[in-house]
Structure 1
Amino acid sequence: MPPILFRQKLLLGFLPVIAMMMGIAWFSYKTVEESRQASDLAEQSILIISKAHSISSKTVKWQHHERTNSQWRGPKAAIDSELHALQLLVSDKPAQVYRLKKLGSTIALLDSLNSDAQTAEPFSRKHHRLDSANTVISEMVNTFITNEEKLLTVSQKRSDRHITNAIRLIFISSFVTIATVISLIVFTLRTFRAKRKLREELQLSERKFYHVFNDSGIGMAIVSLEGKWLQVNNHISKILGYSADELMAKTYQEITYQPDMPLDDMMVARVLKGEMNTCKFEKRYYHKNGQLVWVLLTVSLIYNEDGTPGFFVSQLEDISEIKKMISELEMKNKSLVRISEDLKGKVSQLEEFNRIVAHNLRGPASSIEMMLSMLTDAETSEEKDELMHMILVSSKTLNTTLNDLMQILEIRLNHDIPYDICDLQEITDKTSNLLQGELLKAKALIQTNFKVPTVSFPKIYLESIFYNLISNSIKYRKQNQPATIFISSEPLAGQVRLTFQDNGIGIDLNMHGKNMFKLNKVFHKGYNSRGVGLFITKNQLETHGGSIRVESQPGVGTTFIIYLNQT
């Protein structure tokens, strides 16, 4: 993950201080505003009190002036002017406005009393009414003055409270400012020292990286997020065959073996998403000479100062030789497995051959030994001639058995016999000529349908296979109808399938299926069979990669199916 940057740390560290300073600024604004309002109210109250005193004194002088002098218009105008000014000062105070209206009407009444010089009212009564009006005016003015004095007292208390708050605010602000300045100084000094230490460590790290990068025993490169080579060391040039300038003119995608790109893209995407810090995997590059080079690639992501992905650092280790050795080792292991399986097969075959030899030779040898012993004890020439004839027959049987066993052994051991392109129709015709007499006697008909006309197989063995299977179809035919033999071939997934089908007496596979291709196994008596032909046929096929199976029903016929590998 990208590291937390210095600016982010600074912002996180001073965020509470910034919030506190903003709170102090807001509180200061409110304090100044309230102080200004209290000051305005106090000033207004002082003006109102001053005007009220002025109206009171002018009214007293005016009344006194009217009693001694009939010229009263000048003082009246001054009172009206003061009264109008006072009305402007209290225009936002309904109660005070109401009182001023009452005061104005009272002054108007006093004016009307003073100006009524022609009235017949007695002098004493007139002066009594003037005194009453004067008393009302005095009381109203005093009420004004009292109310404003109370407001002034409240304003003074509020101003005192705001001054106290302002002093506290100044003290707090000063303390916070001093603490902030000290913190900034300490933080700056520590940051400067940390940066200096970091710069020294960075320089040391850069020197180390330079030597590690350029003197490394493996390929190292700096690659952009888009895949462009930004910087490479000399070892990469040795691995890929390109010079540094040639590589930096390309992207890694251009020289990557394309089947490896999905894995490459997936691993790089996981690093970019932050799922892993480093990824390591095997991939192939094209060498400048066109050959494929196996490398073990390690990719790490380097971040910018702002936390965004910057570039990749890639390490390439040439593992082509290791891959080659692993491939050769795997091939040798497979070869050893095949050899081991082949040896197991050979041992099994030799054990089987040993049992066959022991079984097939023991009887004739014991017979000959016994007859030789009897020949020694024979008294007449007729007995000796008869024993000699019997010894001769046993010797021929022993010789035939030995020839059969030698033929089987030769097939098993002869793997290097050359393969031929065998014409199936030609082999069929040759076999028919060899069995011409038997075919005529059995009135047999051979039909063919070779969709694959030729096969690759040792010709001498294929001719032997055809001879054995066709002669069996003739031998085990039904006596009451002509023999029909149908031979066909068709392609089958890299193989050729040969089919030999007849309408003979058939075989009970439920009874004889397990012994079908074993040596000296005879399934029909009275046909002069030795049980060797099918055994030899199976060995000939399996020795050269083929196989054989049988399908048969008694009284219906038999089908032999042969599979030959074709390359």
Structure 2
Amino acid sequence: MLNGTKTIQNNPLVKQLPSATVFTNKKFEVVYASDKFVRDFGFDSQLVFGKPINELFTTLSDNWENTLYNCLSNSSEHLNVTYSLKSEADAKWYKWSCTAWLNDTNETMGLIIHFNDITEEKLKGEKVAKLQSLLDATCEISKIGVWEYDFMSDTLIGCDVIREIYGVSKDYKFSFDSAISQYKDGHSRNTIAMHVHDTLMNGKTWNEKLQFKTIKGKEIWVQVAGMPTYIDGKIVGLKGTLQNIEEQIRREAKTKENELLMRTLIDNLPLNVFIKDTESRKILVNKSECEYMGVENPDQLLGKNDFDLFDKDVAQISRAEDLHVMETLIPMLGRETTSRTKDGKMVTFLTSKIPLKSNNGKAQGLVGISMDITDLKQKEQELRDLINVTSQQNKKLVNFAHIVSHNLRSHTANFSMLLDFLAHEKNENEKVKITEMLTQASDNLLETLENLNEVVAINTNINLKKKPVRLNQRIASVKHNLKPFFTSNEARIINTISDDVKINVIPSYIDSILMNFFTNAIKYKHPDRSPIIRLETKHEEGYTILSISDNGLGIDLNKYGEKLFGMYKTFHDHSDSRGIGLYITKNQIEAMNGKVTVASEVGVGTTFKIYFNEQN
């Protein structure tokens, strides 16, 4: 080659070089080229020689020429140029290693350029850079730091988040031993040391919440995790994450404190409090609810619905209420409800159910509050009964006062009149008649006083005690005492009452009651038939009910119903009717906390039902 100005035939040694290599003159024209160079870049071997580099590689940067001239001017330097070759199919990157080409007299003849394919290295570098960028962004956003420890070189590295947690500058050099010592002495430091040892020895991974001290001595809670790193199946170090969870721990502590406060509050409320999900399953219950359900632990109720805890009819009512509240989002406030537990216990509650709304405005369950008002309802009923009894007693007292006043006034007037007649009568025979009339009036007064005294005794005698008696025995006793009366009137009793039926009564009262109803049934018999008295009993809502039916004259209840049990009220033209028997009988029944009803049809007969209270 003459002064490097024109090409010569390709050098056989260069041609066989295993790398893509070219020799250029000072004008950067190709003088020699290896076959690999021609193949790698897809050149025509006849057109390569004599071509300037910039014509072969048309995408060179603007400063390529200065770079190559620098290499020519300083033969001791080795300069590198990165060149990218892109096509529709793919892209490749090459690194040009340039060095001066010298002759035997150390005169620069041109350049020797080696083309190294660095595509894979370039792609890996870009991938690593992207991953590092992604990791840095992830760490920054999540505030989770990553660290790695090389056991062989005893080096520990950490990202910026790690440095922020430690409270150190970006140029701080981590030490593994000092990193361990940053954990709080005691449980935290012992735990981290034990995990590190287990990981290095046995390849275990771990994740712990531990207490940590920053460089400035501030104590914080951190979440630290670690796992082994391997090379050729051998553990060579550790890598893991570190996160400052101080705020999270504080929030958790505050949440627990609030939960404890709420639990203390609802457990000490004198109310049953519960929360249900959309399937009416209980997800929270307080102490009062547990006590009502007869369980010691809330876990025995959680996850169960009303069908698991109550009878089907009670559960269906409760479920219907739940669905209405959750579908309409309208609270149910202060509704009186009755529940029956599996053991048959009936309880009355004042219940409120409030929809529990989620962020989308729909119900995700409900909050229930119930107050047991069973005792209150019982006292309310007792008060109502007392008021009724007091009202009835007051009416009786007023009525009794009117009767006493009227009857005694009538007797007094009668006595006064007869005495006046006696005082002015001259005829002895007439005086005898008036004296007889005075005697009869005296007897009538005594009878009236006895009747009134009996009524007073019934309503004021609180010392008489109720006792259980066999009803059939009392019936047989009364029937025996009335045997002549039954026989003379051809009366008979049809008794269907079982011998084991007992009633709780004052014995003297039951005899009087039976005797009065039996004598009335015969006394007011129908003229066309013999009297028949039918007896039967049944149990109903705490009462033993005795039915006494006759086939007598019957009573027009539309006309006399309100006066039937009044004192001195009669409803038939009967010579010995006094109108006191039913009044006294009713007082005796009510004195035993019972009641009496009547049904009658004129010309057919009458049925009295006596309700004997089984409980009090």
Q: TM-score if structure 1 supplies the norm length?
A: 0.46
Higher helix share: 1
Higher strand share: 2
Higher relative contact order (CA 8 A, sep 6+): 1
Work out which of the two has the higher radius of gyration on C-alpha atoms and give 1 or 2. 1
